[in-house]
A and B are shown apart, each in its own frame.
Chain A
Amino acid sequence: MSLKSTLRAATALSLITAGSAFADGHSATITIATVNNGDMIRMQGYTDQFTEATGIAVEWVTLEENVLRQRVTTDITTSGGQFDIMTIGMYETPIWGANDWLVPLDDLSAEYDAGDILPAMAGGLSYNGTLFAAPFYGESSMIMYRTDLMEAAGLEMPAAPSWSFIAKAAREMTDRDNDINGVCLRGKAGWGEGGAFITAMSNSFGARWFDEDWNAQFDTREWSDTLNFYKNMMDDSGPAGFATNGFNENLSLFNQGKCGMWIDATVAASFVTGADSTVADSVGFALAPDNGLGKRSNWLWAWALAIPAGTQQVDEAKQFIEWATGTGYIEQVAANEGWANVPPGARTSLYENPDYQAVPFAQMTLDSILSADPTDSTVDPSPYVGIQFAAIPEFAGIATEVSQEFSAAYAGQQSIEEALEKAQAITNEAMEAAGYR
């Protein structure tokens, strides 16, 4: 076998494999990039019905959240055209919409009734009044607490508690001998993890990321108060190693009965009252705490489906979005798996449905969502939109690094002052690099 013929054979071989990659996709197959959350995975189980009804086959690319972000962002910024639908959040949507990277969803069918989408969600997923992504589920954050432990501590949770009450209750509920921590909160590095929590919390302490000239504000007393309060409370009554706990770690702790209170995403309510939870019978809900300054510490988020502008299959993609985020899907899940398991927080009609109102966390979820306003999230005026984030392209990178400094402070590897100094420097450096200052 000569070198030439070998090379030729190898080339032919790789061409064949490349060819077969195209061969298995028939004309109507849409590719969807999505996150590996429980609700999304449940939806994948129902896609056969969509394919049956429409003849459109669906290919899923299911990735862990951080990998997904990295993947879809690279693809959208380079017009890679790998996906027909991308699962993105409230942070990405307005930025991508502004760049004309997404197909506007302004011509969805009357049957779909886009007007039914909760205004807070539609607002966060629009740019200049045009909807660019349809919410699959939406969330705010709220307090989930153990009614039995609260009672044992002789306390009663107000519907809208303050941070000082939370700190006090946490201390009372903590029982180190029985491995019960008064309060579990996110401390994990990452802008969507601990970064989101502390930013939302800081709003209620009167802090903000930027002043109106885009100067970082970490040198203010408000930020130092926020972090000190958080750390003191967590050192007193939080779980060991809270600096690495994110949503999932806390969920698992709460479900194992190791948390008195947990302030996190409203979607968690169906998990802590679900089959995996050992404390399902004794969970109560309350609004996220405030500090008497007029802002609460709850955020607003939605996982939404959007169509990248480069796709050849806009119509098919729209059909899928209407199916997945429409009321029909919600009813189907409710019929098969109960109302508590439907994707929450996206549609007004869901909260008007008496069957859903009977779900214990429905009203508190709605109240939390309604009390969050991304356009006016801080006590002092700020130049950005967003509650637990600032909807500018640079934010994800900055906030991830800032939250890493915070996590190091939570773990006791540096003081809060040091963490804030570094955060200030990181943020100003990055904002200069991006040309804001």
Chain B
Amino acid sequence: MARSVTPRRKLINTTVAWAIGLLIFFPILWTILTSFKSEAEAIAAPPIFLGFDWTLENYRIVMERSDYGRFLWNSIIIAGLSTVLGCIIAVPAAWSMAFVPSKRTKDILLWMLSTKMLPAVGVLYPIYLIFIELGLLDSRAGLVVVLMLINLPIIVWMLYTYFKEIPGEILEAARMDGATLRQELIYVLTPMAVPGIASTLLLNFILAWNEAFWTLNLTAVNAAPLTAFIASYSSPEGLFFAKLSAASTMAIAPILILGWFSQKQLVRGLTFGAVK
């Protein structure tokens, strides 16, 4: 509904919007700044905003203490594969729900969402025991499957809403031209749904990256992602604000950068069918 406004209005709007944006972003900015301070400067009173001795010491300590590369790689693999796997399973399901709806379609959709309501802590023991039986503890494969299942309802839901926006007539026309189901999926539907699928992938990558219960409880060394990395930097002995900030920055930086590059996609695509 964007309209043209007077320059004065625009100035006011700009000021307010920037103020709010900076306010919301400030905790992250402050964390990043603190990560370049010494521990003493990190707790200095009054706080120092920029005029401190910039140092990379905290990053050096964190790198020395933890194998950051491995945690990062695990995060990428687990979040990435669970998202891709989820999409592979969800695309056909969402397609059929959107284009061959039955009476029960909505019930199935809502039921899928309701599987997310089982409290994770309540089923830790069952899942842990199953993982032992299957030899999946501390394996990336196990986590990929769990995170995929956790996010599957959201993926199905998102894709369903995108697919529903694709006009049925186009499919109809394709079918008239003799397209098989498979051709229809690949040549007609997929291109139209690519923006939707892209933002679905993105959102689920973020959700999987940030999942902090199963990734922490089902891993030890081999599959431990960044959520486990950060668990070793909270409240140790002594001053730790600067080191905590460095570790935090390292944990969120990759996803933050990815998010920034793809924010247009997110802004456009994250609708869940909110727009009719």
Answer yes or no: A and B touching, Cβ < 8 Å: yes
Interface on A for B, CB 8 Å cutoff?
A: 2-3, 6-7, 10, 13-15, 17-18, 21-22, 24-25, 31, 33, 36-38, 41, 44-45, 59, 61-64, 67, 70-71, 74, 78-83, 246-248, 251-252, 255-256, 268, 271, 276
Question: Which residues of chain B are within 8 angstroms of A36 by Cβ–Cβ distance?
Answer: 232-234, 236
Question: Which residues of chain A are within 8 angstroms of B66 by Cβ–Cβ distance?
Answer: 62
Q: Which of B77, B217, B232 has the most CB of A within 10 A?
A: B232
Q: A80–B139 Cα gap in the complex (Å)?
A: 13
Instruction: Taking A14-B141, A64-B232 as given, write out 9 further A-B residue pairs in contact, using a Cβ cutoff of 8 Å, ordered by the A residue number.
Output: A10-B81, A17-B144, A21-B141, A41-B65, A44-B65, A78-B129, A80-B131, A81-B132, A246-B235
Whole-angstrom distance between the Cβ of B222 and the nearest chain A Cβ: 4
Contact B182 A2 (CB under 8 A): yes
Contact A6 B140 (CB under 8 A): no
Contact B231 A63 (CB under 8 A): yes
Contact B239 A276 (CB under 8 A): yes
Contact B222 A25 (CB under 8 A): yes
Assuming the contacts A2-B182, A10-B85, A251-B238, asked whether A83 and B140 have C-beta atoms less than 8 A apart, the reply is: no
Contact A62 B220 (CB under 8 A): no
Q: Which of B43, B140, B223 has the most CB of A within 10 A?
A: B140
Return the contact of B139 from the options A18, A83, A271 (Cβ within 8 A). Answer: A18
B107 within 8 A of A: no
Whole-angstrom distance between the Cβ of A217 and the nearest chain B Cβ: 31
Contact A64 B235 (CB under 8 A): yes
Q: What is the interface of chain B mostly: helix, strand, loop, or mixed?
A: helix
Return the contact of A71 from the options B125, B182, B217 (Cβ within 8 A). Answer: B217
Assuming the contacts A74-B124, A252-B239, asked whether A14 and B137 have C-beta atoms less than 8 A apart, the reply is: no
Question: Which residues of chain A are within 8 angstroms of B228 by Cβ–Cβ distance?
Answer: 61, 63
**CB contact list, B221-272 vs A, under 8 A:** 221-224, 228, 231-240
Return the contact of A251 from the options B125, B231, B237 (Cβ within 8 A). Answer: B237
Q: A37–B220 Cα gap in the complex (Å)?
A: 18
Could you mark each residue 88-112 of chain B with 1 if its beta carbon is under 8 Å from any beta carbon of chain A, else 0? 1100100000000000000000000
B214 within 8 A of A: no
Contact A83 B141 (CB under 8 A): no
Question: Which residues of chain B are within 8 angstroms of A271 by Cβ–Cβ distance?
Answer: 237-238
Question: Which residues of chain A are within 8 angstroms of B141 by Cβ–Cβ distance?
Answer: 14-15, 17-18, 21
Contact B221 A59 (CB under 8 A): yes
Whole-angstrom distance between the Cβ of A258 and the nearest chain B Cβ: 11
How many residues of B are counted as interface, with CB atoms below 8 angstroms from the partner's CB atoms? Answer: 45
B68 within 8 A of A: no
Q: A82–B135 Cα gap in the complex (Å)?
A: 11
B41 within 8 A of A: no
Assuming the contacts A41-B65, A64-B231, A67-B231, asked whether A10 and B88 have C-beta atoms less than 8 A apart, the reply is: yes
B189 within 8 A of A: no
Q: Which residue of A lies closest to B182 (CB)?
A: A2
Q: Identify 14 residue pairs between A and B in the complex whose beta-carbon atoms are under 8 Å apart, listed by A's number.
A: A18-B140, A22-B222, A36-B232, A37-B237, A41-B236, A61-B228, A63-B231, A71-B216, A79-B132, A80-B132, A81-B137, A248-B238, A252-B43, A256-B43
Q: Which residue of A lies closest to B230 (CB)?
A: A64
Whole-angstrom distance between the Cβ of B92 and the nearest chain A Cβ: 6
Contact B139 A37 (CB under 8 A): no
Whole-angstrom distance between the Cβ of A194 and the nearest chain B Cβ: 14
Contact B128 A21 (CB under 8 A): no
Question: Which residues of chain B are within 8 angstroms of A13 by Cβ–Cβ distance?
Answer: 81
Q: A80–B124 Cα gap in the complex (Å)?
A: 13
Assuming the contacts A15-B141, A70-B217, A252-B43, asked whether A78 and B236 have C-beta atoms less than 8 A apart, the reply is: no
Q: Which residue of A lies closest to B84 (CB)?
A: A10
Q: A41–B66 Cα gap in the complex (Å)?
A: 10
Assuming the contacts A17-B140, A25-B222, A36-B233, asked whether A74 and B217 have C-beta atoms less than 8 A apart, the reply is: yes
Question: Which residues of chain B are within 8 angstroms of A18 by Cβ–Cβ distance?
Answer: 139-142
Return the contact of B92 from the options A3, A63, A64, A268 (Cβ within 8 A). Answer: A3
Q: A82–B228 Cα gap in the complex (Å)?
A: 15
Question: Which residues of chain A are within 8 angstroms of B88 by Cβ–Cβ distance?
Answer: 3, 6-7, 10
Whole-angstrom distance between the Cβ of A361 and the nearest chain B Cβ: 16
Q: Which of B182, B221, B231, B234 has the most CB of A within 10 A?
A: B221
Question: Which residues of chain B are within 8 angstroms of A17 by Cβ–Cβ distance?
Answer: 77, 81, 140-141, 144
B145 within 8 A of A: yes
Q: Which of B81, B88, B140, B238 has the most CB of A within 10 A?
A: B238
Contact B231 A21 (CB under 8 A): no
B57 within 8 A of A: no
Question: Which residues of chain B are within 8 angstroms of A247 by Cβ–Cβ distance?
Answer: 237
Q: Which residue of A lies closest to B235 (CB)?
A: A248
Q: Which residue of B lies closest to A252 (CB)?
A: B239
Question: Which residues of chain A are within 8 angstroms of B144 by Cβ–Cβ distance?
Answer: 14, 17
Question: Which residues of chain B are within 8 angstroms of A15 by Cβ–Cβ distance?
Answer: 141
Contact A82 B137 (CB under 8 A): yes
Q: Which residue of A lies closest to B223 (CB)?
A: A21
**CB contact list, B189-232 vs A, under 8 A:** 216-217, 220-224, 228, 231-232
Question: Which residues of chain A are within 8 angstroms of B217 by Cβ–Cβ distance?
Answer: 70-71, 74
Contact B220 A61 (CB under 8 A): yes
Whole-angstrom distance between the Cβ of A406 and the nearest chain B Cβ: 20
Contact A276 B132 (CB under 8 A): no
Whole-angstrom distance between the Cβ of B129 and the nearest chain A Cβ: 6
Assuming the contacts A14-B141, A41-B65, A79-B132, asked whether A61 and B221 have C-beta atoms less than 8 A apart, the reply is: yes
Assuming the contacts A63-B231, A71-B216, asked whether A80 and B236 have C-beta atoms less than 8 A apart, the reply is: no
Question: Which residues of chain B are within 8 angstroms of A255 by Cβ–Cβ distance?
Answer: 238-239
Question: Which residues of chain A are within 8 angstroms of B184 by Cβ–Cβ distance?
Answer: none
Contact A14 B238 (CB under 8 A): no
Question: Which residues of chain B are within 8 angstroms of A45 by Cβ–Cβ distance?
Answer: 64
Question: Which residues of chain A are within 8 angstroms of B140 by Cβ–Cβ distance?
Answer: 14, 17-18, 21
Question: Which residues of chain A are within 8 angstroms of B223 by Cβ–Cβ distance?
Answer: 21
Assuming the contacts A36-B233, A71-B216, asked whether A80 and B238 have C-beta atoms less than 8 A apart, the reply is: no
Whole-angstrom distance between the Cβ of A193 and the nearest chain B Cβ: 10
Q: Which residue of A lies closest to B224 (CB)?
A: A61
Q: Which residue of A lies closest to B240 (CB)?
A: A248
Whole-angstrom distance between the Cβ of A396 and the nearest chain B Cβ: 16
Whole-angstrom distance between the Cβ of B214 and the nearest chain A Cβ: 12
Whole-angstrom distance between the Cβ of B24 and the nearest chain A Cβ: 26
Contact A64 B234 (CB under 8 A): yes
Q: A246–B65 Cα gap in the complex (Å)?
A: 24
Contact B138 A82 (CB under 8 A): yes
Contact B237 A21 (CB under 8 A): no
Q: A82–B216 Cα gap in the complex (Å)?
A: 13
